[in-house]
Chain A
Amino acid sequence: MFLLEVKNLTKRFGGLVAVESLSFSVNAGETVSIIGPNGAGKTTVFNLITGFYRPTSGEIRFDGWDLIGSKPHKIALAGVGRTFQVVKPLRGLTVFENVLVGAFAHTGHRSEAQRIARDVLDFTDLAPLSDAIADGLPIGMRKRLELARSLATSPKLVLLDEVMSGLNPTESKEAIDLIRRLRDERGISAVAGVEHVMQVVMSISDRVIVLNHGRKIAEGPPSKVIDDPDVIEAYLGRVNGQ
């Protein structure tokens, strides 16, 4: 059985079709990338899965649950973590507190939550920054904090919206590393939304889904997708003026 199964998902905003009849699935322990140019509908897909938007039509199943109509917090507790494209740290709180809040998802005990938070901070290499106020962190750290806060809720799947945007080469490499370890060390599935076809992202993806104008134009292993004429067209435009 699939961990996440999306069927014929459609979202219209008035006359604009943001996502059209999208179907895909994610297996347990799999890392999938959704790539597509700006405005392709990646963030909308994430907002639909996590309950921030209600689909116009379609089905979303996660771990045996029907997610349609559930509130975001219910979906989070069911095991779907997410990060936001525009990072949203809990600004006034410290790095440790940001993660601690996430850790309270499945426990009411402060000591247990602290243990989970410390574990996650170690895993994400944020432990040295525990006492820093989240608002003062550089973008790379804030992105990592987003992931750490989400991991503290013990998700089975994390949706990473624009994991790479705004990162310098070193930060990108660290982010890639972290996503790889998510799968290899913790068995957590990830769906990463990425704007550009980056070789590094391709290298850690088991599968790549390409979106353009809200529709899936290609899906498959990274090596296949990158040579797909439709994908090249979506990014570079038509060849020979056809």
Chain B
Amino acid sequence: MIRAKPILLTGILFLLIFAPLILETRYSQHVMILVLLYVALGSAWNILGGFAGQLSLGHAAFFGIGAYTSAVIASKTSLSPWLAIVIGPLVVLPIALIVGWICFRLRGPYFTLATIAIGEVVRLVTLNWTSLTGGAVGVVIRPSVFDGTSKLPYYYIILIIALSSIMLSSVLSRRKLGYYLMSIREDEETAESIGIDTTRYKLIALALSASLTAISGAFYANYFLFVDPTIVLPLALSVEIVLIAIIGGLGTVPGPILGAILLKLSSELFRNEFAQANLLIYGVLLIVVILFMPGGLIGGVRKIMKWGARNPRRVSA
């Protein structure tokens, strides 16, 4: 089992590298890009929401700021909008820290409510700051570096972004920072009592999570070449990111990967097969997973793998 893991991971990596060469159609490549984008978003959110237990419903704000950074670079300068992959996080970071500094005084549902408000504030500012953002009309972005005839470069860029997010989560989960975030999730008072500066570590989690989300936003703008507030800043996007992590398995490294694959693939599939009914089926799927796999997909997979094997974790009185 332990030896099989690196072999398995190497295999998956090769598969990911060669997948778009095998599935050559533009549509299948597009779907893979979408899935990877949501893997990156789900993993980024999971650092704050899953590991540290701070449920944010405002991540669209960070995504949107990343996307709009690309748009502003494209419309106001002659630089490449790809630069937003670096500048986006730098723009988001101070905003995230101010938001965290204010919102982390609130706990539980109040923090979540505050993040919804932040998301709406950013959306409304973007909608009304017409001179910078173009308002409701949105911004068309000129393609830069790649001309869009092939989807391959976009695929490999988002693959690198998604893998970085996953690797960060994976490294984090085995280190002091990861354990500190999990302690904060389990009990903030206990965490303080063993020397954990809970405010500081929550801010670190938020900073990492928001920066990664902004990078994905910057990628999005360069790939779709159009942004407007209803596309990159809606509450629905924040909710979708959260669903991916929860459905996949909160606070686990592979959770958001499974969540993104299931939700994005099924929504694409249902859109093709069932037209308007696709949201209905999507909803039913969510309910089924929530009802029967409270630990998310990864919890379900682990449960099945443990079936029949002895269970040494529980201790009776």
Number of interface residues of B (CB under 8 A): 26
- Would you give the 0/1 interface string for B296-317, flagging 1 where the beta carbon is closer than 8 Å to chain A? 0000000000000000111101
A14 CB within 8 Å of chain B:
no
How many of chain A's residues have a CB under 8 angstroms from any CB in B?
39
Which single member of A91, A97, A110, A132 contacts B176 (CB below 8 Å)? A110
Residue in chain A with minimal CB distance to B187: A88
A150 pairs with B315, CB closer than 8 A: no
Q: Of all chain B residues, which has the CB nearest A72?
A: B192
Give the complex CA separation of A84 and B187 in angstroms.
Answer: 12
B108 interface residue (CB < 8 Å to A): no
Contact status A52-B189, CB under 8 Å: yes
A232 cross-chain contacts in B, Cβ below 8 A: none
**Interface flag for B195 (CB, 8 Å):** yes
Instruction: Tell me, rounded to whole Å, the shortest Cβ–Cβ distance linking B315 to chain A.
Output: 4
- Min CB distance A102 to B, Å, is 4
Flag whether A6 is at the interface (Cβ < 8 A). no
**B174 an interface residue at 8 Å Cβ cutoff?**
yes
Q: How far is the CA of A102 from the CA of B190 in the complex (A)?
A: 10
The answer to whether A110 and B174 touch across the interface, beta carbons within 8 angstroms, is: yes
CA distance A102 to B251 in the complex (A): 20
CB-CB under 8 A from A132, the residues of chain B are: 313-315
- With CB as the reference atom, state the residue of chain A lying closest to B200: A73
A242 to B313, CA, bound (A): 58
Which A residues lie within 8 Å of B187 (CB)?
88-91
The reply to whether A104 and B193 contact each other, CB–CB distance below 8 Å, is: no
Pick the contact of B179 from A52, A82, A84, A97 — CB < 8 Å? A97
The answer to the question of B186 belonging to the interface, with a C-beta cut-off of 8 Å to chain A, is yes
Could you list which residues of chain A lie within 8 angstroms of chain B, going by C-beta atoms?
50, 52, 71-74, 76-77, 81-82, 84, 88-94, 97, 100-102, 104-105, 108, 110, 113, 129, 131-133, 136-138, 141, 149-150, 152-153
7 shortest interchain CB distances as A-B pairs: A72-B192, A90-B186, A138-B317, A76-B195, A105-B195, A132-B315, A77-B195
Interface residues of B (CB under 8 A from A): 174-176, 179-180, 182-183, 185-187, 189-198, 251, 312-315, 317
